[in-house]
């Protein structure tokens, strides 16, 4: 059952990630820049994830190696989002 749930959540995540431009189009037409759209999107999601982690009393500490990994993955995620939205 856990494997099915993981596969389902992966499909849901990838399909909603691919739909980013559809939700961004109305605000792009109003003149909002792509960088602003992505900034607010990432800021809101960081606050939501942070609140969830506080709610479940998760430990926020990470090692230097984990920080480097998170940095590079974050850069690639941001570039992918930027390119997807710009296209």
Q: What is the mean pLDDT of residues 56-68?
A: 91
pLDDT(65) > 90: yes
Residue position matching structure tokens 């709610």: 55
Structural contact between residues 70 and 62, judged by C-beta atoms closer than 8 angstroms: yes
Q: What is the mean pLDDT of residues 54-81?
A: 90
The pTM of this model reads 0.69
Q: Could you give the 3-state DSSP secondary structure of residue 79?
A: helix
Query: What phi-psi label fits residue 62: left (phi over 0), alpha (psi between -120 and 50 degrees) or beta?
Result: beta
**pLDDT score for 56:** 93
């Amino acid at each position: 059952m856990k494997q099915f749930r993981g596969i389902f959540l992966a499909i849901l995540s990838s399909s909603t990630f691919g739909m980013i431009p559809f939700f961004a189009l109305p605000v792009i037409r109003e003149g909002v820049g792509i960088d602003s759209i992505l900034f607010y999107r990432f800021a809101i999601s960081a606050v939501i994830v942070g609140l969830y982690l506080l709610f479940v009393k998760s430990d926020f500490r990470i090692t230097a190696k984990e920080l480097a990994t998170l940095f590079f993955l974050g850069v690639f995620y941001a570039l992918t989002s930027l390119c997807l939205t710009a296209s």
